Structure 1
Amino acid sequence: MNVADPALGPAGPAPTLGVRVPTPPEASAPPARRPAGDRLRALDGLRLLAALMVCLYHYAGKNGEVAASWHQSPGHLFPTLSRAATYGSLGVQFFFVISGFVICMSSWGRTLGDFFRSRVARLYPAYWVALLLVGAASLALPVVLAPLRPDEFLVNLTMLQQPMGVPRVLGVCWTLWVEMRFYVLFALCVIVKGVTYRRVVVFCVLWTLAGVLARVADTPLTDELVMRDHAPFFVGGLALYLIHRFGGDLLLWGIVGMSFLLGQRYAVTAMWHPGMTGDFHRDPRVVQAIVLVAFAAVAVVALGWVRRADWRWLTVAGALTYPFYLVHEHLGWFAIRVLYRGLGLDAHLTMALTVAGLLGLAWLVHRFVEKPFGPRLKRAMARQARRPGLT
């Protein structure tokens, strides 16, 4: 990502929230130690790792639809692997920490319009193709995924199906709704005035406080707006980017520490017990350890300790992550039925071929959809924004 440094504006008084919030970076924040567009290939590798964690969970760490595809519980087929795979669902929280870091980095120096166009161009082309692929698979093998009515499928094109109460074509897209709400919050509270050290810090503190108060209020609307269970992971990622860019201090590390403490609580209460579909038991201590590793892994990148991990293949790995994440669940169950039950292949070979095949499909989506059409869509929106009467 190549992002220019932010324009400097006049310093204003820092609000007091029980902690000493630094004045704007143009006045007293530590000088930037790294440019905003610094490419971090190790972060790309972490993104793919998180996607593979979720993939392993969907193939071997739960029952329900995947058990129907294997024709038995994955716990019987993979007695050792499944005990680890059931923790793969925590890859989502790993994603959220990374997302906080990346969004702060990529929005630095951008206008609200630039940010909006970059998110639309980044998210929608691959998403629309994934909808078409999974929708076609549901018609070919309805036992894996029941086809949706045309009106329901069309609402899925908006990525707003969850708040609309419409069934999802892609099971994993609930996380996209979480991400979209984070983008909107960060855009309206920070990007609209320009991303600065002080504004990001204030946003982190206020969002953390709002999440705690939302838990007290315990109403669906506040939960939707504040995302009390997911906010700590995004906030931790935002603070870790500030540490990467400006260096660590007690305030920033305090925000990261608070985010971990709140995030691990959510992860334990949400995931340690068996789910409605008979998910395998999760040890709360292991859940805590994985959440700690997620924060620590991004912290290692933020501190620059893995800067030598500058291999080009990590960039490719990062590029595959989003399309792979979109298509792996339902198309994977489709492939398992065909390879394992249809062709009679070994279960472990079926798993390996399914993952490899969907990584290959992700590369095709990236190469022939994201790379050509994402920039075109972004340029088209930019031209539209420059039309007379729209500025």
Structure 2
Amino acid sequence: MQLFFLISGYLLVQSADRRRWAPFLAGRAVRILPCYWVALCAAAWMLGRPLVPAGADEVLDYLASVFALGHLRPYGLYRFDSLFVSWTLTIEWTWYLGLPLLAWAAARSGRPVRFWCAAAIAAAVLSHLWVMAAQAGRLDGVYAEPFRRITPDPAALEALRVAFVTVAAPAQWTYFLIGALMRVAQDRVASIPVWAAVLVALVLLGDPARTAALSGTDPTVATGIGLAGLFVLALRVPAGARWLLPLHRVGDLSYPLYLLHVPVTMAIVQRVAPGPMRTALVCLGVTVAAALMHRFVELPTRAAGARLARRGPRAIIDVPTNPRGDR
């Protein structure tokens, strides 16, 4: 999951606008929410989960779920999330809200690379302190009441702490900012020797449990550095390589695949007996559902979002346009 946050930081830093924050945020909303709404409705129908609140006491939780902010309302995520990945969109929203301010400050600083480097270091310190405090139970009071509303089981409460506090947005911002720094300093990143990138990736990603144990936190900042090494290797691959064409197609479907893979898989598993046929149906069902969403929902809304994002006068950071979209 952290790799996707790093990629988001890398790609979206070019989309923010210095003078018109509203078009940037509106563009992200148009890009993210329509597919999310369609997937949420389809998943609720497939899995027989609630789609509307049962009473007035669930309205705020429901609205948080509708706007992909369920990770801020644990009971709402528990009650209305039929996708089981919605929590990551809440974390993405914090990045969308913070990025324009950071990009504006970077432009005003006159030294954007140094600014983003300092921001990444500050985020790493914040993330480390947040995870340490969460693991020690010092942040349990944040969601104590919603957790009790979900379950009184102490064992389940520990799992809820990890799901809603330990991996909350402050723990993830390091990955966004590492990605943004790699984009802004792409010329310097391109000069990193391949052997160094491989070494960093192997040491820090080869044994995640050991890395987390050494750092004392999970998620850990070391994982972000290891992913950066892996990302450096990916950037060395020629964009026009023929063997990348199938991956490009998968990339086109990545957001619908991400939203739909869990509910479609669960719906098929509930209805089909184990065996090769079920495996084939899962692969086919997820792919077809994602392709339909891409064609009839994502492409039209992506075009609308791109028009909104272009309304600002110019980008905050002068970087090349990403030819494959804004994600």
Structure 1-normalised TM-score?
0.54
How many angstroms does 1:228 deviate by? 4.6
Contact kept, 8 Å, 1:162 with 1:174, in 2: the verdict is: yes
Structure 1 residue aligned with 2:122: 206
Quick one: structure 1 residues 108 and 214, their matched pair in 2 at CA, closer, same or farther if it must change by over 3 Å?
same
Does residue 237 of the first structure (1) align with residue 179 of the second (2)? yes
Paired amino acid for 2:43: V
How many angstroms does 1:105 deviate by? 4.0
Structure 1 residue aligned with 2:32: 123
2:249 paired residue among 298, 316, 327: 316
Contact kept, 8 Å, 1:211 with 1:228, in 2: the verdict is: yes
CA distance in 2, matches of 1:159, 1:226: 14
CA distance in 2, matches of 1:212, 1:198: 21
How many angstroms does 1:127 deviate by? 0.3
Structure 1 residue aligned with 2:91: 178
Unaligned runs of 5+ in 2: 143-164, 314-327
Does residue 189 of the first structure (1) align with residue 102 of the second (2)? yes
Which structure is richer in relative contact order (CA contacts within 8 A, separation 6 or more)?
A: 2
Structure 1 residue aligned with 2:41: 132
Structure with the larger helix share: 2
How many angstroms does 1:325 deviate by? 0.9
> What are the equivalent positions in structure 2 for 1:337-352 lying under 5 Å apart?
337-340=270-273, 347-352=275-280
Contact kept, 8 Å, 1:135 with 1:147, in 2: the verdict is: yes
> Larger Rg: 1 or 2?
1
Structure 2-normalised TM-score?
0.64
Does residue 97 of the first structure (1) align with residue 6 of the second (2)? yes
Does residue 299 of the first structure (1) align with residue 241 of the second (2)? no
Quick one: structure 1 residues 379 and 104, their matched pair in 2 at CA, closer, same or farther if it must change by over 3 Å?
closer
CA distance in 2, matches of 1:132, 1:347: 28
Quick one: structure 1 residues 134 and 231, their matched pair in 2 at CA, closer, same or farther if it must change by over 3 Å?
same
How many angstroms does 1:102 deviate by? 1.8
CA distance in 2, matches of 1:153, 1:331: 22
Give CA-to-partner distance per residue, 1:92-115, whole Å, 9 cap, x none. 122222222222344487853343
Give CA-to-partner distance per residue, 1:203-225, whole Å, 9 cap, x none. 2122122223434655536x689
CA distance in 2, matches of 1:135, 1:200: 41
How many angstroms does 1:157 deviate by? 1.3
Structure 2 residue aligned with 1:326: 259
CA distance in 2, matches of 1:175, 1:375: 23
Paired amino acid for 2:177: V
Structure 2 residue aligned with 1:149: 53
How many angstroms does 1:379 deviate by? 4.6
Quick one: structure 1 residues 319 and 305, their matched pair in 2 at CA, closer, same or farther if it must change by over 3 Å?
closer
Contact kept, 8 Å, 1:134 with 1:169, in 2: the verdict is: yes
How many angstroms does 1:162 deviate by? 2.3
CA distance in 2, matches of 1:204, 1:293: 14
Does residue 335 of the first structure (1) align with residue 275 of the second (2)? no
Contact kept, 8 Å, 1:135 with 1:169, in 2: the verdict is: yes
How many angstroms does 1:377 deviate by? 5.6
How many angstroms does 1:236 deviate by? 3.1
CA distance in 2, matches of 1:172, 1:347: 26
Structure 1 residue aligned with 2:294: 366
Quick one: structure 1 residues 116 and 266, their matched pair in 2 at CA, closer, same or farther if it must change by over 3 Å?
farther
Q: CA RMSD in A?
A: 4.3
Give CA-to-partner distance per residue, 1:283-324, whole Å, 9 cap, x none. x9xx9x99887444311133x334343644433211211111
Q: Equivalent pairs: percent with the same residue?
A: 22
Paired amino acid for 1:329: V
Quick one: structure 1 residues 197 and 293, their matched pair in 2 at CA, closer, same or farther if it must change by over 3 Å?
closer
Paired amino acid for 1:298: F
Contact kept, 8 Å, 1:107 with 1:191, in 2: the verdict is: no
CA distance in 1, matches of 2:71, 2:124: 24
The aligned length equals 262
CA distance in 1, matches of 2:14, 2:252: 17
Paired amino acid for 2:241: A
How many angstroms does 1:169 deviate by? 2.9
Unaligned runs of 5+ in 1: 1-91, 270-283, 341-345, 387-391
3-state SS of the aligned residue for 1:149? Answer: coil
Give CA-to-partner distance per residue, 1:323-358, whole Å, 9 cap, x none. 111111122111122222xxxxx5233123212221
3-state SS of the aligned residue for 2:82? Answer: coil
